[in-house]
Amino acid sequence: MRRRQFLVGATTVAGASMFGLPRRASAQAAQTAVDAAKQFSGSEISIVWEAGLQSLDPLNFSGPKWEELTGIKVKVIEVSTAEMFTKILQNHRAGAAAYDALNVIPAWMPDLVRAGALEPLDAMVDKHGFREELQSIAPVYRDNQMMVDGTIYGFPDDGDVFLMYYRKDILGDADIQAGFKAKHGYDLPIPPTTWEQFDHVGAFITEHTGGKPYGATFFRDAPYAQFMFQERFRNEGGKFFDAETMKATINSPAGVKVFSDWVEENKWMPAGVQTWGFVENLAAFLQGDSAMTVSWPPYGRWAAGYGTDEEALSWVPKSQIAGKVGYAVPPGGHPQLAAGFALSVSASSRQKEAAYLFIQWLNSEEVSLERVQLPYALRDPFRDSHFASAEYKSRWPEAPEYLAALGEGAVKGLLDLSIIQTDRYEEALRQGCSRLWAGEDPKAILDDIAGQWDEITERIGVDKQKAAYASWAGNAAAYPS
């Protein structure tokens, strides 16, 4: 299970005009794509998209607009994130040509490239004049989620990054501040910048308020927790492997500290928090039951009430905290770029140029700015121009602070682990998180995970995986500098 799968089955809504998004003129790269695509008018291309709310972008906004501009129909194939990698690979191996354009999680790209499933894009990027606009994608996405071995295989298209959300009114409360200083001997930090501070603040608020609200809540469900482990482990100084031997080092003191700290944190969080997913945590925060949390960017928009009056977001609890929320990168200062999506072209497609032109248009400066402002589509800002947009900053009073935090995350963010057969390693970590919530010893769990990782590495081949890991670890965003 990957990303925000609670969104599968979301209701269809009308297009972007419902949100007052302007129909602005296309930027140069967008218009170039439109003009070139008209030669394929009357054809149909398919694109694989994450099922649920996410698919409402191509279904209701970008797909119909592309057909209006070019005469090319867009068939949206909705696939759950858990099945997307497998289906893309199976389609390629079968030579079925069922998919033309693709959404892929960047951590999958090396495996898909090794399998020959992704089309190299450099030639078409140059033919259609897109290289310059690609440079304005925020560097951490552009430099780490676009190329494999120096060749472009995808356009980073979703600024997924964890942010911390905190109640400014609670952390700024005079009684809470005074009591905190009396207990801990330092001023209550707004917001906490280390996990030690976070734990001090969260535990004190729960103690002071009796759990109304709790000091913090998290989604602890294993598929989400494994991303949070990757982030916090590295911020605590952990490394996934010994770079020389490729022995797993996830069971180092840093890993044990993270697991042990989680167990202690749960004691001052709501009962049963270890089973919470995205929705349970969202509800607690929006209803005012939690003073701090960490999640993907949609929490920040929905906490302000942005777009939540739309039918497709009717399941989102009405925010009780609008105007009271602050935004920051999580403690440790280096947030996880958890999941995200890139636009690619299937190597098996029989309409590669038409598919390419569609994703160039989608990803272009102007069109992407419209798309990241669709409240229902869950595409998060990923270009420098998105973070600086006066239009986006006007969406709600605290939007400039929100975009500034996202912009900081785009500079300091950490990449998901991406090596050969990454999901096998992640599955062992997911199972380990579940075992932690079942009460097993943190060190024993991590020792077992390390053993499983070593077995996976042996099956793949130590030298092959060592080379893949060296390539990934050589990125500036692999570990905190």
Instruction: Please check the confidence at residue 48 and state whether its pLDDT lies above 60.
Output: yes
Instruction: Please check the confidence at residue 25 and state whether its pLDDT lies above 80.
Output: no
pLDDT at 377: 85
Average pLDDT of the residues in 31-51 = 97
Q: Which amino acid is at 343?
A: L
Average pLDDT of the residues in 307-325 = 93
Cα-flanking dihedrals φ and ψ of residue 239, to 5°?
Answer: -120, 145
- Residue-wise pLDDT for 6-23, tens only, equals 444 443 333 433 334 433
Local structure of residue 118 (DSSP, 8 states): B
Local structure of residue 476 (DSSP, 8 states): T
pLDDT at 7: 45
Distance CA 110, CA 116 (A): 10
DSSP SS3 for 178: helix
Residue 108 pLDDT class (50, 70, 90 cuts): very high
pLDDT at 310: 87
Residue 64 pLDDT class (50, 70, 90 cuts): very high
Distance CA 419, CA 472 (A): 7
Residue 27 pLDDT class (50, 70, 90 cuts): low
Q: Which of 402, 303, 306 is nearest to 20 (CA)?
A: 306
What is the residue whose two structure tokens read 């676009």?
A: 146
Average pLDDT of the residues in 31-36 = 97
- Residue-wise pLDDT for 119-131, tens only, equals 999 999 999 999 9
Inter-residue contact 27 to 74 (CB < 8 Å): no
Inter-residue contact 104 to 342 (CB < 8 Å): yes
Q: Which of 303, 302, 279, 301 is nearest to 291 (CA)?
A: 303
pLDDT at 59: 95
Average pLDDT of the residues in 354-372 = 97
pLDDT at 308: 92
pLDDT at 11: 37
- Residue-wise pLDDT for 227-263, tens only, equals 999 999 999 999 999 999 999 999 999 999 999 999 9
Residue 362 pLDDT class (50, 70, 90 cuts): very high
Distance CA 194, CA 192 (A): 6
Instruction: Please check the confidence at residue 320 and state whether its pLDDT lies above 50.
Output: yes
C-alpha pair distances (Å), 335 with each of 242, 286, 320, 408, 474: 23, 22, 26, 9, 18
Distance CA 168, CA 53 (A): 30
Angle in degrees, 0-180, between the axes of helices 222-235 and 253-266, rounded to the nearest 10? 130
Instruction: Please check the confidence at residue 277 and state whether its pLDDT lies above 70.
Output: yes
**Domains observed in the chain:** 5-160+339-415 (3.40.190.10), 163-337 (3.40.190.10)
pLDDT at 409: 95
Residue 376 pLDDT class (50, 70, 90 cuts): confident
DSSP SS3 for 284: helix
Residue 26 pLDDT class (50, 70, 90 cuts): very low
Q: In this structure, are strands 163-167 and 325-328 parallel, antiparallel, or unpaired?
A: antiparallel
Cβ neighbours of 272 (radius 10 Å): 11
- Residue-wise pLDDT for 143-202, tens only, equals 999 999 999 999 999 999 999 999 999 999 999 999 999 999 999 999 999 999 999 999
pLDDT at 114: 93
DSSP SS3 for 454: helix
As a residue count, the chain comes to 481
Give the number of C-alpha atoms closer than 13 A to the C-alpha of residue 27, restricted to the C-beta side.
19
Residue 330 pLDDT class (50, 70, 90 cuts): very high
pLDDT at 14: 37
pLDDT at 298: 94
Distance CA 271, CA 413 (A): 31
Cβ neighbours of 182 (radius 10 Å): 8
Distance CA 316, CA 36 (A): 40
Helix, strand, coil share (%) of the chain residues, nearest 5: 50, 10, 40
E-strand stretches of 296-395: 325-328, 336-337, 342-345
Distance CA 156, CA 105 (A): 9
pLDDT at 96: 85
DSSP SS3 for 210: coil
